Copies of this chain bind each other. A is one copy, B any other.
Amino acid sequence: MKIDIVENVLKYNKDHAAKNRKLFEENNVMVLNLLSSPGAGKTSLIIETIKRLNNKKKTGVIEGDISSTYDSEKIQKFTPRVVQINTGGACHLNATMVSSAVKKLKIKNLDIIIIENVGNLICPVGFDLGEDYKIVLSSVNEGDDKPVKYPPAFIKGNLVLLNKIDLLEISDFNLEFFSNTVRKLNLDSKIIQISCKTGIGLDKWIIWLENAVSNKCYK
């Protein structure tokens, strides 16, 4: 019975994710599901991305938190196109929550939606939201062993952004070990080193993002 219930939950989510994906396709909007541990820098990444896209690509944000509007208030200083989801304690977003949030964004006017998932490197991984790409944000301070300790996120991630790279020199983070482990888990995954604080590497991230939008438009 336990397995049935889990299967039902996942089937229900899968159906809603498919509806979301269809809606995103119809509106030609490219959607990212941003996954990370608490404090890896998801909100800072979104703010730096919005600043750099500078309205060239219209971006909406769906902000997932167990409670509070702390992050969406930060993002509102840079764009009005942000919707907060409070999960009420749940440890991940699901496709139904995203479906409700999307109704509050003017999707027809958007090129990109970035979904900031709840800060949790485990639970959000299993829940498809209808996104085009899962982006895994890891940070130097969390240590180079995160892919070893939390493999599912890195297996499912389409791109790994390694944030806080400005702190590499004063840490004992082994970049080769990190990269090799990511590659073993997911041969196709690319790693971009960034720092939302200093701006290092964000140009590469923006190029990746603009290419992803172009691929979506022309596919």
Chain A interface residues toward B at CB < 8 A: 5, 37-39, 65-68, 70-71, 89, 91, 118-123, 139, 141-143, 145-146, 148-152, 164, 167, 170
Q: Can you pick out 25 interface pairs between chain A and chain B where the beta carbons lie within 8 Å of each other?
A: A37-B38, A37-B39, A37-B142, A38-B121, A38-B146, A38-B150, A39-B139, A65-B149, A66-B122, A68-B148, A70-B145, A70-B148, A70-B149, A71-B149, A89-B122, A89-B152, A91-B91, A91-B122, A118-B122, A119-B121, A120-B120, A122-B123, A123-B123, A141-B142, A141-B167
A72 to B: closest C-beta gap in Å: 12
For A67, give its contact among B66, B143, B151, B164 (CB under 8 Å).
B151
The reply to whether A68 and B149 contact each other, CB–CB distance below 8 Å, is yes
Q: A66-B150, A148-B68, A149-B119 are in contact. Are A142 and B38 (CB under 8 A)?
A: yes
Residue of B nearest to A140 (CB): B141
